[in-house]
Amino acid sequence: MRLIGLDPGLRATGWGVIEAADGRLRHVADGVVHPKTADPLAQRLCAIYDGISHVIETYAPESAAVEETFVSRNAQSTLKLGLARGVVLLVPARAGLEVAEYAANRVKKSVTGTGHAAKEQVMMMVKTLLPPAEIETADAADALAVAICHAHYFETAERWGASISGADARLETRR
């Protein structure tokens, strides 16, 4: 299954595409959408929309995951980041993808083993889990970490679903 992870930001929105099959992960692509910081807010949001739309059209993921927003003390910054996050949630939804959301601590824990890992630790573990990948920015590494987290949870949910439906089928045949 091809998955896209997204790390929303107004200055830099990271994205990463991986393939997950049979418990194995493979790096497909990663990058960052950089809206012009001098542009008005609406134009920056359009740039994020266009950039993520292009990535989804190019790599055709089957599912998407987005990191939840960190709430800072500055309400204005949090609100603006929320707008960027809204766009990042909208693009894959409009493309017909299911969109999962994960807290930053859950993403870090699923990749590094600790929920309070530093960005450098996340980058190192993403490179370890996706060996041929040459990830250049922390934003792209964070997005790939979101995709990896989603792969782990998605695969677990599929297994649970298969075991539950299998148990239901066994119960039906006994009746």
- Is the per-residue pLDDT at 70 higher than 80? no
Distances from the Cα of 126 to the Cα of 66, 117, 131, angstroms: 16, 12, 8
Express each pLDDT in 2-34 by its tens digit. 999 999 999 999 999 999 998 899 999 999 999
Q: Which two tokens stand for residue 143?
A: 């997005």
- The helix-helix angle for 104-112 and 119-129 (nearest 10°) equals 50
* CATH code, domain carrying 154: 3.30.420.10
**Domain around 100:** 2-174
- Is the per-residue pLDDT at 75 higher than 50? yes
pLDDT at 23: 85
Active site residues: 7, 67, 139
* Pairing mode of beta strands 98-102, 13-21: unpaired
What's the whole-number average pLDDT of the chain? 88
Model confidence, pTM: 0.87
How many domains does the chain divide into? 1
- Confidence at 47, pLDDT banded by 50, 70, 90: very high
